Amino acid sequence: MQFMLLFSRQGKLRLQKWYVPLSDKEKKKITRELVQTVLARKPKMCSFLEWRDLKIVYKRYASLYFCCAIEDQDNELITLEIIHRYVELLDKYFGSVCELDIIFNFEKAYFILDEFLLGGEVQETSKKNVLKAIEQADLLQEKTDNAYHSKSFMGYKKAY
């Protein structure tokens, strides 16, 4: 996989992960073009399209589009399920994940992704193992963080 983008129906980029070296300018250009292309597609259309010399696999979950760019040899359907598994992981971690979770905890979204995909390839497909890794990290974190503050900023989800 060359990159993964998460963006909202309004075209706002929520997460970007690049597995090939590209300049910032190029990343912005690609993002702009792809967001436009994908948003212009109708709901019943197929989840795959050719774009430049890559294959784009995308799927919409509620207000968010998950969009992956894979290479010619790569498998479209399994990529679709990569997206789904990532959504499941986010869902399990945040508890019915919504766009706001990813906005406010963007760093977590990146950490979870890194446990699941590395260098553009699937690293660990077991949901249990991925979440175990993240939770272990959270435990470490709580031990160290409690000194500074309690995990108190709950409720923003309702407020915004």
The answer to whether 87 contacts other proteins (rule: CB under 8 A) is: no
The answer to whether 40 contacts other proteins (rule: CB under 8 A) is: no
Nearest residue to 54 via CA among 120, 122, 123: 120
Window 16 to 35, contacts with other proteins (CB under 8 A): 16, 19-23, 26, 28
The answer to whether 99 contacts other proteins (rule: CB under 8 A) is: no
The answer to whether 48 contacts other proteins (rule: CB under 8 A) is: yes
d(CA 79, CA 77): 5
Q: Would you say 39 or 80 has its CB closer to other proteins? A: 80
Binding track over 56-85 against other proteins, x by CB under 8 A: ---------------xxx-xxxx-xxx-xx
Nearest residue to 78 via CA among 125, 15, 13, 17: 125
Q: Would you say 62 or 135 has its CB closer to other proteins? A: 135
For the bound state, the minimum distance from the C-beta of residue 81 to other proteins, rounded and expressed in Å, comes to 5
The answer to whether 9 contacts other proteins (rule: CB under 8 A) is: no
The answer to whether 36 contacts other proteins (rule: CB under 8 A) is: no
d(CA 71, CA 140): 38
